[in-house]
Chain A
Amino acid sequence: MSTDYQYESKPALIKGDHSFGSITDMIAKTPLSPTPKLWYLAFGLSNVLLIILLGAIGYLVWDGTGIWGLNNPAGWGWAIINFVWWVGIGHAGTLISAILFLFRQGWRTAINRFAEAMTIFAVMCAGIFPAIHVGRIWVIYWVFPIPNQMAAWPNFSSPLLWDVFAVSTYFTVSLLFWYVGLIPDLATLRDKAKSKIAKISYGIAALGWTGSFRNWWHYEKAYMILAGLATPLVLSVHTIVSFDFAVSVIPGWHSTIFPPYFVAGAIYSGFAMVLTLMLIARKIYKLEDIMNIDIMEKMNLVMMVTGNLVAFAYLMEGFIAWYSGYIYEQGIFWLYVVGPYAWGFWILMFCNVITPQFLWFKKIRRNVGLTFVISIIVNIGMWFERFMIAVASLSTDFMPSSWDYFSPTFWDIITYIGTFGLFFTFFLLFLRFLPMVAIAEVKGVMPQADPHNYDEDSKEFDASKTEPVMVQQEQTV
């Protein structure tokens, strides 16, 4: 018996009828044309928020961490929640640029530049929080192993110090990876630019790149190695962030499920943030051919998988609390569900357990409006996840006599809102002056880029060659 298999051709990664030249024009046009008015408006708003952030930090340095809502059991509040939330968002960028590269997922080229930029700016926002949380920021250099006047050295066995190394390495490697990816595109902008200032600035940044194959050869190797290095790195960063909690003995924190659960949650929230930004940018900059619905659907699938992993982790926490027979663990889980922060728990359940279930439906995965709404809900949910972990576990610890309810102050809130100013200031500068899609990589995944898709004699592009050769199956009984 034989079964008839029908070959279904894969949808093209780039929609519309595009040549290499039209791809260049579509992407390079934005950084090289005059600034739109809407950009000034958005940039102005971001700058206002950024100034608010700087003011909030200034007051914090002046007055100390007492301006925040921290109290005696809850020594970690919004600052740590925001730190974990922003770092988590960054993870999608590295996943898209490194892990999907190693898995040869051509669709990543539509969003990788964009997502990597988001990573870098999100990690910048994240890094601010632990730094200002130390209270005496003028001696922050004590966290680095630098010989100092007291002949003291940092404690290398502390997870908080691991975090310093993890986040700073993550930032540096993401920046290097991003820049390496930018070099050929900066050369494109250098060659396309008309104004002298633009030509010189892009020219310096492009380092004299010519597109020589002998250069591409080392370049591709470097890119692959960087992807290989960034892959374990991205998994390690949120693992180490989770150690900040898991290595302590607080019930609700002391758990081996934290590393994988944090990583899954990070990718979940990161993809949501990339979607939020992408759905706006593709509309404004008319990049619907590149950042198309197929790519949105694939990202929704990643969100569905990681969202369900996170939901499974919640179930597992409850199960382990019961199965461990450890009353404090059981107590804290019960307190999540019905305790003083139960409202947070149920928001979390709605956002992170119920919402991803909508993504089982293809219609919803391919609907731009609904995806946008879901991406926002996911980001809210992931913020509440960190809120429950950081605040709910701390403020109701072993002894009810030491419990205290945590509420944020005005300064907590505006510092958090202010980080959006920092994020969007940089993100808008990126959208304005750099190619927001990796031009060379998009060209590289077009069927016209592969010499095998050309006719041997006429040397013309032959679309039929992009399909695999059909082999007639022999009838076997």
Chain B
Amino acid sequence: MEADNRQIYGVLAEFRNPKELVDAAESVKNSGYSDFDTYAPFPIHGMEKAMGVKKSPLGWIVLSGALIGMVGALALMVWVMGYEYPMNISGKPFINIPIYVPITFELTVLLAAFAATFGMIGLNKLPRFNNPLFNVERFEKASDDGFFVCIEASDDLFAEEKAEKLFRSNGATHIETVYDSE
């Protein structure tokens, strides 16, 4: 058979609505799986508990971006205005911290926003050129009105039949094995 030459990526099951998806995710987690994910067209309230997802470290990435922006802006202005190119403007002090506040604020926000955007993309391992899930035709619904769970073959407990049984007992409307692309 053709399928034998291909690597199994995981087992994908479709559910009817967000409620069923959350319940299915909870039972997958309780069965001891760790390499699984749920797919929905919008983030579902309470899914983090059902799946046992850890807190996102993104806040720390943003904080470091913000600090680089803040310290960098202050350092630049103090160096330029105090040492590199001092300008006497109406007799005001060369190093004049209150006057640096607006630009320091702007650069702090700017670098924090870059850290938030690219940090999020990085943590999600995007951009990604291909994903075995895209081999499944009905997976197109995941961005429309489909609710999916996928147990991945990389999990130690993974066995095709066992995963299918678990999904069936949770009322999956459709179950399909996902193969890696050749």
Contacts and interface: CB of A to CB of B under 8 A. Distances in A.
A170 to B, nearest CB: 8
**Interface-centre pick from B80, B102, B113, B142 (highest chain A CB count, 10 A):** B113
B37 A191 contact: no
B107 A169 contact: yes
Contacts of A153: 80-81, 84-85
A230 B128 CA distance: 28
B127 interface: yes
B80 to A, nearest CB: 4
B62 interface: yes
A302 B16 CA distance: 39
Interface stretch (A41-49, A208-216, A288-296, A372-380): A208-216
Nearest to B25: A213
Given A176-B117, A459-B23, A213 B39 contact: yes
A10 to B, nearest CB: 18
A313 to B, nearest CB: 22
Given A225-B58, A444-B43, A155 B89 contact: yes
B113 A226 contact: yes
B41 A211 contact: yes
**Interface-centre pick from B19, B44, B48, B110 (highest chain A CB count, 10 A):** B19
Contact of B113 (A19, A177, A444, A459): A177
A155 B87 contact: yes
A240 B105 CA distance: 11
Contacts of A441: 42
Contact of A218 (B16, B112, B123, B131): B123
A217 B110 contact: no
Interface in A169-223: 169, 172-173, 176-177, 179-180, 184, 187-188, 190-192, 204, 207-222
A213 B38 contact: yes
**Interface-centre pick from B43, B44, B53, B96 (highest chain A CB count, 10 A):** B43
Interface in A92-125: none
A363 to B, nearest CB: 36
Interface residues of B, number: 71
Contact of A173 (B58, B87, B110): B110
B18 interface: yes
B130 interface: yes
B72 to A, nearest CB: 11
Interface string B74-107: 0011001100110101001000100110110111
Nearest to B124: A215
Nearest to A152: B85
B92 A229 contact: no
A188 B106 contact: no
B70 interface: no
Contacts of B130: 208
Contacts of B43: 213, 216-217, 219-220, 444
A427 interface: no
Interface stretch (A71-79, A269-277, A329-337, A447-455): A447-455
Contacts of A213: 25, 37-40, 43-44, 47-48, 51, 53
Interface string B6-36: 0000000000111111110100000000000
Nearest to B40: A211
A233 interface: yes
A232 interface: yes
B109 interface: yes
A459 B16 contact: yes
12 contacts: A24-B144, A207-B126, A207-B127, A209-B126, A210-B131, A218-B123, A222-B120, A233-B109, A240-B102, A449-B18, A454-B18, A459-B16
Closest 4 pairs between A and B when the two form their complex, measured CB to CB: A454-B19, A208-B128, A222-B120, A20-B145
Interface of B: 16-23, 25, 37-48, 51, 53, 56, 58-59, 62, 76-77, 80-81, 84-85, 87, 89, 92, 96, 99-100, 102-103, 105-107, 109-110, 112-114, 116-117, 119-121, 123-124, 126-131, 133, 139-145, 171
